[in-house]
Amino acid sequence: MLLYPTRFQTARTGNKFLDYYAPHDVFHPGVDFNWGLTRNADKGQPIFAPTWGIVEYVSPVGTNGGLGNYLVIKHPGLAVWTRYLHMDSITVNAGGRVAPGQTIGFLGDTGTVSAHLHMEVLNYKGLAFIRDARRPYGGYPVGVAKDEVAAMFVDPMKFIGENDHVPLELPQTEAGWAIILRATARMLKRLGFTRKDEIQRRLQRKIERLRN
């Protein structure tokens, strides 16, 4: 199980796992995290290690062919690696250990046009692929067939459960609150609350807790 890598628990719409993204000719090999509100509102938000791991690679600072500043963490317990693209800055060093919830850097827009965190989960085939690229750990599956991408990358949301381990960053706008409300209502339904008045009551309580 992985924690959310950001304080906000929403993946950006439009760039879901394996969605074809024509401008880059790529089946999107991860998920994108941001509030999705304004262009750079999320820049500077902390990015958290989703579980125990060892930092395997830290990129040089730069656009790095569209990947921006990026980072690869090895998770021996899960037999997967996680990769984080477009970071504003990275605060861990290669070879260092990370703990769940530890800040590993800050969200940015390096190598891209709008601030978001692109996160991937790779299996050993994915690791071989990114290592095999011309740039160390920078392989991005441009032009690779969908089934081949699916054999190397795992949907991060399969590992990320509902949790309260990372505190929510409170949204600054009504649109941000609407995202929280929708996500919370969905969670309540999954937990078995079906009565509208009961959902309303619990939503109200959650919001009061968050706002205080």
Residues forming the site for Zn ion (CB under 5 A): 15, 32, 118
Nearer to Zn ion, 23 or 192 (CB): 23
Q: How far is the CB of 113 from Zn ion (least distance, A)?
A: 12
Q: How far is CA 167 from CA 7, 13, 43, in A?
A: 6, 22, 18
Nearer to Zn ion, 150 or 207 (CB): 150
Which residue's Cβ has the minimum distance to Zn ion? 118
- Which among 151, 72, 82 has a CA at the least distance from the CA of 122? 82
Q: How far is the CB of 205 from Zn ion (least distance, A)?
A: 35
Contact 58, 93 (CB under 8 A): yes
68 — phi, psi (to 5°)? 70, -160
Nearer to Zn ion, 75 or 118 (CB): 118
Q: How far is the CB of 198 from Zn ion (least distance, A)?
A: 37
Residue 46's Cα: distance from chain center in Å?
A: 11
- Which among 10, 15, 189 has a CA at the least distance from the CA of 114? 15
Q: How far is the CB of 15 from Zn ion (least distance, A)?
A: 5
Nearer to Zn ion, 24 or 205 (CB): 24
Q: How far is the CB of 30 from Zn ion (least distance, A)?
A: 5
Nearer to Zn ion, 33 or 48 (CB): 33
